[in-house]
Structure 1
Amino acid sequence: MIKKFLFSTLIVICSLSTVFAQNKTKETNKLEDPDNLASQYFSQVMGVAVDATSNLKLYKFIYEWIGTPYRFGGNTKKGIDCSAFTKTIYDKVFNTTILRNSRDIFSTVNPLSKDELKEGDLVFFRSNGRTISHIGVYLGDNRFAHASSSRGVVISNLNEPYYSRIFYKGGRILEATKKDFVEE
Structure 2
Amino acid sequence: MKVKALKFILTVAAVLGLALVTSHFHSDSSAQAATKPSYSEAYKVAKKQLGKPYGWGSTGPSRFDCSGLTKYVFKKGAGKTLHRTAQSQYNHYKKVSYKNIKKGDLVFFGGSKHSISHVGMYIGNGKMIDSQNRGVIVERVKAPWWNYVGSARPVNFAS
* TM-score interval (norm. to shorter): 0.5 to 0.7
Identity, % of aligned positions: 29
Letter of the 1:87 counterpart: K
The CA distance in 2 between the partners of 1:125 and 1:73, in whole Å, is: 17
Partner of 1:173: 154
The CA distance in 2 between the partners of 1:131 and 1:169, in whole Å, is: 12
What do you get for the CA RMSD once the two structures are aligned? Answer: 2.1
The CA distance in 2 between the partners of 1:118 and 1:106, in whole Å, is: 16
Q: 1:158-169 counterparts in 2 under 5 A? A: 158-163=141-146, 166-169=147-150
The CA distance in 1 between the partners of 2:40 and 2:153, in whole Å, is: 19
Are 2:116 and 1:132 aligned?
yes
The CA distance in 1 between the partners of 2:46 and 2:39, in whole Å, is: 11
| TM-score, scaled to structure 1 | 0.59
Q: 1:49-128 counterparts in 2 under 5 A? A: 55-126=39-110
Deviation at 1:112, TM superposition (A): 1.8
Tell whether the 8 Å contact from 1:69 to 1:77 is kept in structure 2 after alignment.
Answer: no
Letter of the 1:76 counterpart: G
Deviation at 1:106, TM superposition (A): 1.2
Are the structure 2 counterparts of residues 152 and 127 from structure 1 closer, same or farther at C-alpha, using a change threshold of 3 Å?
Answer: farther
Tell whether the 8 Å contact from 1:110 to 1:174 is kept in structure 2 after alignment.
Answer: no
Match of 1:153 among 121, 128, 136: 136
The CA distance in 2 between the partners of 1:129 and 1:121, in whole Å, is: 16
Deviation at 1:159, TM superposition (A): 2.8
Deviation at 1:113, TM superposition (A): 1.9
Deviation at 1:68, TM superposition (A): 0.5
Bigger mean CA deviation after superposition, 96-105 or 75-84: 75-84
Letter of the 1:139 counterpart: I
The CA distance in 2 between the partners of 1:66 and 1:92, in whole Å, is: 15
Count, aligned residues: 119
Are the structure 2 counterparts of residues 139 and 174 from structure 1 closer, same or farther at C-alpha, using a change threshold of 3 Å?
Answer: closer
Query: Structure 1 residue runs of 4+, over 3 Å off?
Result: 127-130
The CA distance in 1 between the partners of 2:152 and 2:43, in whole Å, is: 19
Letter of the 1:107 counterpart: N
Gapped regions of structure 2 (runs ≥ 5): 1-37
Letter of the 2:154 counterpart: I
